[in-house]
Amino acid sequence: MAPHGEMSWTEGMIPAIKPEVVASIVSRISDLALVISEDGVIRSAQANPNFNLAPELQMWLDRPVQDFLTVESIPKFETRLAQFKDHKSDVQPVQVNHAAHKDVPEFPIQYSFHRTGAEDSILMLGNDLTSTAEMQQQLVAAHIALENDYETQREHDLRFRVLLESSETSTAFISVKTGKLEACNSAAESLFGKTRDALIGASFALEFRVQGRGDLVDQLVAAASEQVRTSIIVKSVKTGQDLTLKPTLYRGADGPMLLCKMSIDEEEGASSGQLQSQLIDLYHRGSDSIVFLDGTGLILSANDAFLNFTDVTHPQNLKGRSMVEFFNRGSIDLNVMLENARRTGSMRLYATKVLSEHGGERAVEISTTQLKAGKASVFAMIIRDSRRVETVRTPMQQITEVDMRSVIELIGGHSLKDIVAQSTDVIEKMCIETAVEMTSNNRVAAAEMLGLSRQSLYVKLRKYNLVNKS
């Protein structure tokens, strides 16, 4: 006993608790409390206030528990109840499912059995397992989905391997990050004369002798990144044969990857193969800068000579850039060359200045040719340094003999000031005619080329009766 005659828990005794308080305690320490007879008939039912079953419990009274269980739960309940009635001490809780009725869905409960001290009365305390069951269902669904994903992945992997092995084209997968060969087919093994185990994990570039600038993988990435995909010609270290590499760039799980198809060029004949090899060699090793542009002037590819000419460090630095950035007169130069190439197929010679990456200027002569790449047009520019010569561009318009005679006739009859003014008019007319013809009568471009406003150009065109000349 505690001081003042109060009952103490530490003495191993439970204080007297009123029956209604006991019912409240029992309902709160469990989700559902049932008092049943030894035959399983419900005599009393109490639910936790947070367990939404209280309105349904009145219909449970005086009915067997089995009436509210699912078919598979009834044998489990009866077995565990029989064990408890036999006074077995190791009776474990039983998990059963209550059947759905009215607006109450099926729900799982775990019951533990307790003696009340009263004859023919058994207390069942139940805990709701709905949240646990939902979690288990989600886990099972996730496991099934994962298995389905594994099956799908295995099917895709099998298809990939069958397709790769059935191809007669030598195919290899290369990691851009490491430059190592990640996978290949049997045709690639035959081409290299090595087993797959020896090839996988080895450096791809070691199998070839490469011409041109930079690492082989960099060249493959550059070729695969171009709008018009190109191939690369290399020599096999093993056989010395020329091999054509056709790369495709894609992003894998560990970074960018290259799918490279390799073939020996035998169908086009020896002369065609030799010409192709020579042209590629000229592109990579030639002294003249070569640039390929799309129809809007964006750079598709450029050779090493152009990189050196403009002080660009890497071919990737040119991707997506316009050739306008490298011309002294910007869009004026580009539009003149592209328009003339579109109209006649090529422009043989155009003199201008090219800017380097750091702002330096060089006088150049450019020839432009229009090429067909499927339905699109590609423009090839060959740029030659003309710093050592004055200029070899043939004027579009020569000073006519009539104009020269008219100037000479002024000598002796007019002052030098008048003669110079007349000579200036002759030169000015020639320059305007040249600019108009070079821009295909595009007055805006001609005005920009001459450094005049459009209004001033029209005034001078009317002065020299050139308004209607096209």
pLDDT at 277: 73
Q: What residues contact 441, with CB distance under 8 A and at least 6 apart? A: 470
pLDDT at residue 351 tops 70: yes
* Average pLDDT of the residues in 417-421: 69
Pull the structure tokens for residue 198.
């020896």
* Average pLDDT of the residues in 298-309: 89
- Classify strands 346-355 and 299-302 as parallel, antiparallel or unpaired: unpaired
pLDDT at 2: 44
Pull the structure tokens for residue 172.
């290899």
pLDDT band at residue 234 using 50, 70 and 90 as cut-offs = confident
When the pLDDT of each residue in the chain is averaged and rounded to a whole number, the result is 80
Q: At what angle do helices 416-438 and 454-463 cross, to 10 degrees?
A: 110
Q: CA 123, CA 44: separation in Å to the nearest integer?
A: 9
- Hunting for tokens 């059995």 — which residue is that? 113
Write out pLDDT tens, residues 1-16: 344 444 444 445 556 5
Q: Among residues 443, 323, 452, which one has the least CA distance to residue 378?
A: 323
pTM over cut 0.75:
no
Write out pLDDT tens, residues 365-392: 899 999 877 677 899 999 988 865 544 4
Write out pLDDT tens, residues 78-131: 988 888 888 766 778 889 998 887 777 888 989 988 887 777 888 888 888 888
> What residues are paired with 299 via a beta bridge?
293
pLDDT at residue 406 tops 50: yes
Q: Among residues 337, 307, 305, which one has the least CA distance to residue 321?
A: 307
Q: What residues contact 64, with CB distance under 8 A and at least 6 apart? A: 39, 40, 41, 42
pLDDT at 22: 61
CA–centroid distance for 400 within its chain:
62
Q: What residues contact 468, with CB distance under 8 A and at least 6 apart? A: none
- Domains of the chain listed by start with CATH number: 3-128 (3.30.450.20), 286-394 (3.30.450.20), 401-463 (1.10.10)
